[in-house]
Amino acid sequence: MIEIQFWWLAILPVFFGLGWLAARVDIKHVIAESHSLPLAYFKAVNHLLAGEINKAIDLYIDIAKKHSETIELQATLGQLFRRRGELERAIRMHQKILSRRELDENQRQQIQLELAIDFIKAGLFDRAETILHDLANTDSARLARKELLAIYQQEHEWQKAIATAELLRDESHSYQLEIAQFYCELAAESLIRAQHDKAINELELALKEHRQCARAHLMLGEIAFTKGCFDLAIEHWLKIATHDVHYLALAARFILNAYREKNQLAEGISLLTRYVQQNPELDVIDLIYEQLLATTGIDAAYEFVRERLRENPSMPGLRKLLEAHLLVAPDEQKVELEIISKLLHDNTRTYSMYYCNECGFKTRQFFWHCPGCNQWESYAPIRGKSRAAV
């Protein structure tokens, strides 16, 4: 039988009493804080929640004039000026706060970061960079480095971007993908200057950093093709499929060009056909159809798209089948088929676009770096699909 420790029964009311007292103290503190804030402050918060930024700013300006000692309020007002695009006012506000002697170290670092962001938004990268470097040995160092990384990407300072990303590495984010893309950007600049060996070295560094970097394999293949090494070019391009077969679509036309240079175009078409048979979503159907139409005629091209539509029914596949059928249809059927084809084309335009998986930015051109949100490799290499759907 379990013995009851009766002294516990005596101490329980003490614990309840302490809890009640702590709750009363917290409540009194909250009430006191709320009474110290002007009513206009809460009205401004309501405007912010409703998305009425201009009304909130007007109220905050009035509060700030009457309560200039409130650092947090001044900082919030500076952020709101920046959001509204009034960068000069945001800069002046944050500079004014920094001139105050009563700032503690955490507050000073916070305002320095805000001022640096103001300068970045205004395009004053040098001034922002100076402030961010000053924060290198503070508790705000990581946040400062993230802003520096954004600056270096905008200015195409890829070596500095690599060095900064390496400092940002931690368990939560390795930055392998980004660093590999920075090396690819360096290689692209080297190719513009016809420095092929330098570009190859940079692309090998990209693959060392991130062995699944499809862009590095793609560029190495292009360099080999330029040098007339067609087998080596094909080898580089086919390595893409070993990591993510969908990216092979970006190299498909290059692969056919290499086989054409070898006088083996039919073999290249057969190779891509096998890939699409094994991977129905591979975005090369239009290309193979085009090549079959030019080399073997309409019957082979029509049969190819018909088989693909049977294996993987899709609106783009149906549109391509109608396009092929128009070429062989009797004249009396062509008018109706052309109307259907036009309607289908108008209603499937979204299937011809690439979509950023981060921000939804859509474009007809594939980007490694999204113009909308500045994320790397956020586009799926399949038109009409997000990466999440691949």
Three-class DSSP category at 173: strand
229 annotated as ligand-binding: no
213 annotated as ligand-binding: no
Q: Is there a contact between 193 and 187 (Cβ–Cβ < 8 Å)? A: no
Neighbours of 257 (CB within 10 A): 15
373 annotated as ligand-binding: yes
pLDDT tens for the chain, 390 residues long, are 444 444 444 444 444 444 444 444 343 343 344 444 555 555 655 655 566 667 766 666 666 555 555 677 778 778 888 988 889 999 998 998 898 888 899 999 999 999 999 999 999 999 999 999 999 999 999 999 999 999 999 999 999 999 999 999 998 999 999 999 999 999 999 999 999 999 999 999 999 999 999 999 999 999 999 999 999 999 999 999 999 999 999 999 999 999 999 999 999 999 999 999 999 888 888 888 889 888 988 888 878 888 887 877 766 666 666 666 666 666 666 666 666 666 666 655 656 788 888 888 888 889 999 988 989 999 888 876 554 445
Q: Where are the alpha helices (DSSP H) in the chain?
A: 6-36, 39-49, 53-66, 71-83, 87-98, 105-121, 125-134, 141-154, 158-168, 176-192, 196-209, 214-226, 230-243, 248-261, 265-278, 285-295, 298-311, 315-328, 331-346
Which residue in the block uniquely carries the two structure tokens 């084309």?
345
356 annotated as ligand-binding: yes
Neighbours of 54 (CB within 10 A): 9
Three-class DSSP category at 362: strand
Which residue in the block uniquely carries the two structure tokens 């676009």?
353
